[in-house]
Structure 1
């Protein structure tokens, strides 16, 4: 069973805000990647590309073929004094964060990544340079509670958001494929996937579990924001629900770390622990989010904010 999990909208919606250039593998390899990246940064671009992260994570020893790990990274700045790029990605502690990579190490990791991924799906398009369009630089994006509630409702009730939106972007068709699963219905497939991994000799796709963790954190941070925005720190029930969101985040962080350990050890007992944690949180998350939805809906109506459910 093939799995692919993503936030709805992906690259489709943000794309209209950016000037961007798709950079092909051959184009990048024909140039020295360091000065090419510097030129784009100097023009106000961000660079999204791939590097061999194993060279960042384990610089102190020789690596076997199986240890090379090609992963995406975002370059957003540079420092000529320290001769380094400012990036967002996984650091040497396996934390997703901002840190600096020396120019020389970046070049080595980039070339290694290009070599070890040359037969993969990203073989042609290997980087994107993008910057915010001039007309959008001063645009303000105020928070709308009703939009958050609309999205939360669709997640709880597993509604296909693409039915109420449309796009000319050909990549958008991926959200309309037959067999797609949406919202909380994904957990059935996640559990089936863990069973399949337990019964067959397959490689675990870490991205699924990392995305799940990011999703839980996104909800938790948004609920925190709403609590602060509407001054609800004294609401005992809401604070208990916030604590429940935090506990859910912690469990999905454990699931994410167990996934990493399984990749490194192939210990199938870890899959059972992952499955137990997922099962324990499905009902808890549903109940927590339904209660949050009810609280925030009452706030929305009291503030005369209309909620549209399609």
Structure 2
């Protein structure tokens, strides 16, 4: 019953492509200092001509190769490993690799549609014929550790392969192998404070490419001519744009943006507390920390209102949200400027 270490972290679950690797990275204490210096900077993109809504994410979502060895396998490589994807999983987990695998999630949910989603496989049991995975499961769907039978998982993978063969999916590399790098890390308050300063200033930090992801195109795709990119507090501009369109009825509410906004505030709160501990600044940071804790509470409350929002109240809540985001942006900027000033980063 081989089973690798994981940490089913709940600090970042908005997008599985970034959430699942963190479950591997944060299972090892040596990686925590690396993590606490990052996941500060936000990045948003919007192409008015695309017809799509602005996309918001952490600049570090694809930064995990710094702490994890990563390798992707295409459909042919998986097929060469054996008649079933379970053969590959058993072999790679026994060799110490976590396996992120794209399967037809709707099959696992007993739905007729085909939708490819990732699961992180970290163990298998030949006696019960089940794989141990991390992903969204149950009702309501919760990010957690799950067990899925060999037969169901293999069938869901075959359905995903059929969708790719028929051009109904852009996934080219359905399996990613992850293994922690044998490196140690030390926490640097200065690096974290500089990251906070860049966030407040809206200065783009290092935004890692998506070439480690499974649907990376064979050839680089040029950016849209009208692509707008923002960083740090300037990403609020794209959230405001989205809510304004929701208020006007020209766009449907995309909850994921605000789920990630709330996760970001929780991560910043943890990092301010880390600065207070590591720099012996409990007293100077106490008031700022309390104020940011209240900000975090308010954003979480806003997120939950959007999550359970009745359709008939969408326009009204979007109008309230526009005022709320303006207050959050102003308050967060002021509080983080205080943090940077107290830590004394250049």
Task: Name the TM-score, length of structure 2 as normaliser.
Answer: 0.66
Structure 2 unaligned runs (5+)?
Answer: 1-47, 212-218
* d(CA) in 1 for partners of 2:312, 2:74: 39
1:5 match: secondary structure:
strand
Give, in angstroms, the shift of residue 33 of structure 1.
1.1
- 1:184 aligns to 2:233 (yes or no): yes
Between 45-54 and 222-231, report the one with greater CA deviation: 222-231
Please identify, of 274-283 and 185-194, the stretch whose mean Cα deviation from structure 2 is larger: 274-283
Q: Of the two structures, which has the highest relative contact order with CA contacts closer than 8 Å and spacing of 6 or more?
A: 2
Q: Distance in 2 between matches of 1:6 and 1:114?
A: 28
Secondary structure in structure 1 of the residue aligned to 2:56:
coil
- Equivalent residue, structure 2, for 1:304: none
Q: Is 1:52 equivalent to 2:98 in the alignment?
A: no
Distance 1:123 1:187, change over 3 A: same
> Is 153-162 or 177-186 further displaced after alignment?
177-186
1:89-119 Cα offsets, whole Å, 9 max, x none, are 2121322233333333322333334444653
Shift in alpha-carbon separation, 1:16–1:109, aligned structure 2, 3 A: same
Cα deviation, 1:62-87, whole Å, max 9, x if unaligned, reads x343xx54322222333444433332
- Counterparts of 2:124 and 2:71, CA distance in 1: 20
1:6 equivalent to 2:53? Answer: no
The residue that corresponds to 1:100 in the other structure is: 147
Residue 260 of structure 2 corresponds to residue 211 of structure 1: yes
Q: Secondary structure at the match of 1:6?
A: strand
CA deviation after TM superposition for structure 1 residue 131, in Å = 1.8
Give the paired residue count.
Answer: 281
Q: 1:236 and 1:79 mapped to 2: Cα distance?
A: 49
1:251 equivalent among 301, 310, 316: 301
Residues 54 and 69 of structure 1 are in contact (CA less than 8 Å); yes or no, is this contact kept in structure 2? Answer: yes
Contact 2:244 2:318 in 1 (8 A): no
Matching of residue 291 in structure 1 with residue 340 in structure 2: no
- Pick the aligned partner of 1:226 from 275, 283, 286: 275
**Alpha carbons of structure 1 residues 159 and 90: separation in structure 2 relative to 1, 3 Å:** same
1:123 corresponds, among 168, 171, 174, to 171
Deviation at 1:166, TM superposition (A): 9.6
> What is the 5 A alignment of 1:19-98?
19-28=69-78, 31-56=83-108, 58-59=109-110, 63-65=111-113, 68-92=114-138, 93-98=140-145
Change (3 A) 1:255 1:27: farther
The alpha-carbon deviation at position 247 of structure 1 amounts to: 0.9
TM-score (norm 1): 0.72
Gapped regions of structure 1 (runs ≥ 5) = 302-306
Change (3 A) 1:203 1:79: farther
Please report how far the alpha carbon of residue 229 of structure 1 lies from its aligned counterpart in structure 2 after TM superposition. 3.9
Contact 2:247 2:314 (C-alpha < 8 Å) held by counterparts: no
Residues 197 and 203 in structure 1, CA contact (< 8 A), matched pair in contact too = yes
Q: Structure 1 or 2: larger helix share?
A: 1
Alignment CA distance shift 1:217-1:17 (3 Å): same
Equivalent of 2:314, from 244, 259, 270?
270
Is contact 1:224-1:242 (8 Å) kept? no
